Amino acid sequence: VELGRGASVGSHAVVERDTRVGERCVIGVGAVLGADPQDVSYRGEPTRLEIGHDTQIREYATLHRGTAASGRTVVGSCCYLMAYVHVAHDCVVEDGVVIANGVQLGGHVHVEAYANIGGLTPVHQFVRIGRHAFVGGGSRVPQDVPPYACAAGNPIKLYGINRVGLDRAGLPADVQAVLKHAFRLLFNSRLTTTEAAERLRLEHGDVPEVVRLLDFVASTRRGVLV
């Protein structure tokens, strides 16, 4: 186990083997980090759990090591994982992510930077949640949530761009307007996804956020919410 300078571990917390915790991290009471993955195919292979700097992991959260599929589970820097969060094997949680109480991430879930997941939300294995996306509490997430999106419900639905989150992130109003137009074409028009993507790359291919959105949609494995 490696604990970075200034990291603190609460009472009754357990940090198991092959786990690296970054500097100034806070591990809450009763949390379990680095336990064996809950995967029936796991046969004791050497795998890791890696946590960045300045991340808070609150009471009774559980973060498991990876399997041979990727070799590691990763949580980035400046994340806030609240009480009873579960991060399963082979997940990747990028920097600045906030995950509220009781969220359960299945294996191989990828949460991109600055996403926010509301409490008591299960996320199906292999799902991706895009950069700056917001998922409302009590939702069930069986498919990918696009970057910059606001989604909620059971069954879960898209509700346009995450305007509050994008305002807080300082994304300019003109970029938000382009993203709103992109969401309308991709998810709420009579165009096919391919047709909408071609049109958006032609009209707004110089906007990095639009390119990121289109690349995310094009690379989905489980399908994208609409």
CA-nearest of 132, 149, 73 to 105 is 73
For 146, which DSSP code? P
Catalytic residue among 89, 108, 132, 204: 89
Of 54, 64, 76, 90, catalytic: 90
Which single residue is written with the structure tokens 């289109």? 214
Residue with tokens 């559980």: 62
Q: Residue 8 and residue 150: Cα distance in Å, rounded?
A: 34
Cβ(194)–Cβ(225) below 8 Å: no
Q: Report the DSSP beta bridge partners of residue 104.
A: 86, 122
Element (H or E) spanning 189, and its range? none
119 is catalytic: no
Q: Annotated catalytic, 54?
A: no
Active-site option among 22, 52, 66, 107: 107
89 is catalytic: yes
Distance CA 199, CA 7 (A): 49
Residues taking part in catalysis = 89-90, 107
